[in-house]
Structure 1
Amino acid sequence: MRKPWVGGVLAAVLLLGACGDPESDGSAAPAPAPKAPSAATRAPAPSTSPSPSARQLSPSSPPSSTTRRRAVQKPRTKTPKVLYLGDSLAMENQTVLGDQLRAELGARYTSAPYSGTTLCDYLDGTGEDSLVPDKDKAAALVREQRPDFVVLQFWGNAWGYTPCMDGITYDKARQKYFDRYAADAKALASQIRGAGGSKPPRIVWVLQGPDPITPDRVRRVNGIYEAQARSTGGIVADAGRVVAPASGRHTWVEKLPCTSYERKHPAYCTEPGSGRTALHREDDYLHFCLAPTTAKSRPCPTRSPGIRRMAAEITRAVAEAP
């Protein structure tokens, strides 16, 4: 029997620098409550490219047959250059995503995620109120790297953990939280496009997976991403869909049936006897890395089905971009 966890979530998230939410609005019934995330402190600034040890620990995934077929049907004139920014989810995903983009698209890839962040942390002008240093702001990296695509993956950080949110949290001021989040999405897209000059990068907005505590918040945050993509010619990668049951896009589950790829590669089908695989650890409802959380944030060091699923969906969105 699992231990009660809701009362300990806030304290745990302050240590994690993570991205969950403290209470539900009752708009949808939450999934059975998992344990609270294990504690870890906020990470120091990551490198803009994964370390050799990280690449070795997180094996690359073979290209999917679907993406290979699409690549044959629609060859690219050049290999895409991709910049990946985000919070703790991006931190743990970054090596696997880079491996898939390189293997399937021959992409040139750079990542600069920071745990505990939200959109405003990557905005120019946030200064000391940001968890991201000026050299790694979105616009600065676009000017330096000149990417074709900027992939943004943010859970939404509704806890008020990052100072640039000015204390605005989902539980205390919901409409203000959404208004601010939408304004930050618009501002970040504008800065990214402006930094690209005459050839701005395409922005890939990654939709998030289910939240067992506040399912409606994730639904509305995803709506903000979709609206921003429509208004600025961006791209949507619904990575959250592939870590949710087919019967409920915003229903949180710890495990799902193994996909055909996972059945063929037993390391990704954690319970082959039942045909199911784990997306989350029992003690962490938010993250998808099946290795324990550590004091120093890092790319996930073990094969994790949820991470591979999301990386494949992001890769597919980039591959199919017009």
Structure 2
Amino acid sequence: METKRWAAPVLAVVLVAVAVGWGAVSRSDDGGTVDSAVRNQSPDRSHYTSPDPATPAPGGSAPGESAPGSSGGDAPPRTPQDVLYLGDSLAMEAQDVLGARLERSARVGSYTSEPVAGVTVCDYLQGRPGRSLVPSEDKAAALVKEREPGVIVLQFWGNTWGYTPCMEGVEWGTSAYFERYAADLRALTGQIADAARAADVPRPRIVWVQQPPDALHPDRIDQVNDLYEQQAAASGDLLADGGRELRDGDGKWTQYLPCNDYEQSTAGYCTGPGDTAQLHRDDDPLHFCLAPTPEGGQPCRATSPGLERYTRAVADEVDAYLRG
């Protein structure tokens, strides 16, 4: 497996504490809190090759529509298919774990990932005025033309200004926030379809990753997940419920859950109190890596039950699609 990495400073999306139980820190715009000492992270780039073979932004299709000639709701293509993973700091920490899962499947050709900490949907759009955390060559449309993936997995927590400048002026949690978010989902879907058509390749099937519970503002993430569901239905794409194994019995955020069979039988996973799996560190209610996030952001190197559960939901959805 061949891997390339690079790093350059960008803004972080690390939530560090809740006022009760996590200490006092400053308010973040993505619905949590953030320690100013860990705001700066940089993109990490991981390329793998399997040994076993609303108004859209400029250049986008009409909102909610697949471009002519796109795969839309068509039957799954023949496998193996290449998979591309884009997203924010959750994708950055999960990229190696997801890659290892997907590469065990004979249905996946190659797997590549281009996450950037702190980003949101508009960062991967081409033609959006203002500064973006994602360079032009790593925009979603540019990567579709370059790599011609059969599946593109998109994972976004829903960051706003304070992390990504392309959301400047959009206040977190307002009606304008959700309207802008929905418009950006439509625009990104349209640009992916247009890029595939321009490259004369099949339009990749999009997998929108629905997010796990928000410890501080559960209503926000519920509304964001509803937008993913609406967009997937409108364009014939797919949903992966990233939070399906990360909620408590009431569907809410939790730091610990009873160990599943895999965790019970695998060293290092069932380490929480009372034979439970720890999903989050005490100082970070958002991320799943149980090691502190290094400056610059990197794939997680610690045994982390939350990442195993999160990526399993994504890999299962990709595999089910490729199996038809």
TM over 0.5: same fold? Answer: yes
Q: CA deviation at 1:296?
A: 1.5
Paired with 1:37 and 1:262, the residues of 2 have a C-alpha distance of 31
Note closer, same or farther for the CA distance 1:182–1:82 as it changes in structure 2 (3 Å cut).
Answer: same
1:308 maps to what in 2? Answer: 308
1:215-258 superposed Cα distances (whole Å, 9 cap, x missing partner):
1100000000000000001100001121112x222x11111111
Classify 1:83/1:209 alpha carbon distance in 2 versus 1 (closer, same or farther; 3 Å): same
Return the letter of the residue paired with 2:239.
Answer: V
Residue identity opposite 2:202 in structure 1: K
Report Cα offsets for 1:233-284 as digits up to 9, x if no partner: 1100001121112x222x111111111111111322123x722010000000
Indicate conservation of the 8 Å contact 2:160/2:168, yes or no. no
Paired residue type of 1:153: Q
Matched, 1:20 2:30: yes
Percent identity at matched positions? 45
Partner Cα separation in structure 2 for residue 9 and residue 105 of structure 1: 46
Supply the distance in 1 between the matched residues of 2:267 and 2:38 (Cα, whole angstroms): 30
Residue of structure 1 in register with 2:150 after alignment = 148
The answer to whether the 8 Å contact 1:39/1:295 transfers is: no
Q: Does residue 1:243 correspond to 2:243, yes or no?
A: no
Task: Give the TM-score taking structure 2 as reference length.
Answer: 0.79
Which amino acid counterpart does residue 25 of structure 2 have in structure 1?
Answer: G
Specify whether residues 6 and 181 from structure 1 end up closer, same or farther in structure 2 by C-alpha distance, changes over 3 A only: farther
**Alpha carbons 1:83, 1:109 under 8 Å: kept:** yes
Cα contact 2:25–2:35 (8 A) shared by 1 = no
Distance 1:40 1:49, change over 3 A: farther
Which structure's residues are more often strand, by fraction?
A: 2
In structure 2, distance between residues paired with 1:200 and 1:158: 29
Tell me which residue corresponds to 1:91: 92
Residues 1:42 and 2:40 are matched in the alignment: yes
Change in Cα spacing, 1:256 to 1:296, as seen in structure 2 (3 Å) is: same
Q: Is 2:321 the counterpart of 1:318?
A: no
Answer yes or no: is 1:135 the counterpart of 2:152.
no
Paired residues of 1:255 and 1:276 also in contact (CA < 8 A): yes
CA distance in 2, matches of 1:313, 1:45: 24
CA distance in 1, matches of 2:226, 2:107: 31
What displacement does 1:6 show?
7.2
Please tell me the residue identity of whatever aligns with 2:268: A
1:166-245 alignment to 2 at 5 Å? 166-171=168-173, 174-197=174-197, 198-245=201-248
In the TM superposition, residue 194 of structure 1 has moved relative to its aligned partner by: 1.5
Does the aligned pair in 1 maintain the 2:144–2:192 contact within 8 Å?
yes
CA distance in 2, matches of 1:43, 1:36: 13
Is this contact kept in 1: 2:160–2:167, CA < 8 A? no
Say if 1:36 and 1:263 are closer, same or farther in 2 by CA, change over 3 A.
farther
Shift in Å at residue 126 of structure 1?
2.7
Residues in 2 aligned to 1:105 and 1:42: alpha-carbon distance in whole angstroms: 38
Q: Is 2:151–2:206's contact at 8 Å kept on the other side of the alignment?
A: yes
Paired residue secondary structure (2:25): helix
Alignment check: 8 A CA contact 1:20 1:211 kept: no
Query: How far is 1:161 from its partner?
Result: 2.4
RMSD over aligned Cα atoms: 2.4
Q: CA deviation at 1:77?
A: 4.1
- Aligned with 2:244: secondary structure? helix
Measured in 1, the distance between the counterparts of 2:35 and 2:265 equals: 30
| Cα distance in 2 between the residues matched to 1:38 and 1:263 | 37
> 1:102, 1:162 → 2: CA distance?
31
Alignment of 1:153-164 (within 5 A): 153-164=155-166
4+ runs of 1 displaced by more than 3 Å?
Answer: 2-7, 35-39
CA distance in 1, matches of 2:196, 2:171: 32
Could you tell me how far apart the structure 2 residues matched to 1:20 and 1:276 are? 28
- Equivalence for 1:109: 111
SS at match of 2:287: coil
**Counterparts of 2:271 and 2:36, CA distance in 1:** 21
What runs of 5+ residues in structure 2 fail to find an aligned partner?
1-17, 49-75
CA–CA separation in structure 2 for the residues paired with 1:163 and 1:6: 27
- The alpha-carbon distance between structure 1 residues 310 and 105, as it changes in their structure 2 partners (threshold 3 A), is farther
* CA contact 2:107–2:319 (8 Å) conserved in 1: no
SS of the residue corresponding to residue 267 of structure 1 reads coil
Deviation at 1:20? 3.4
Which 10-residue stretch deviates more, 151-160 or 137-146? 151-160
SS at match of 1:320: helix
Residues 30 and 172, structure 2, Cα contact 8 Å, conserved in 1: no
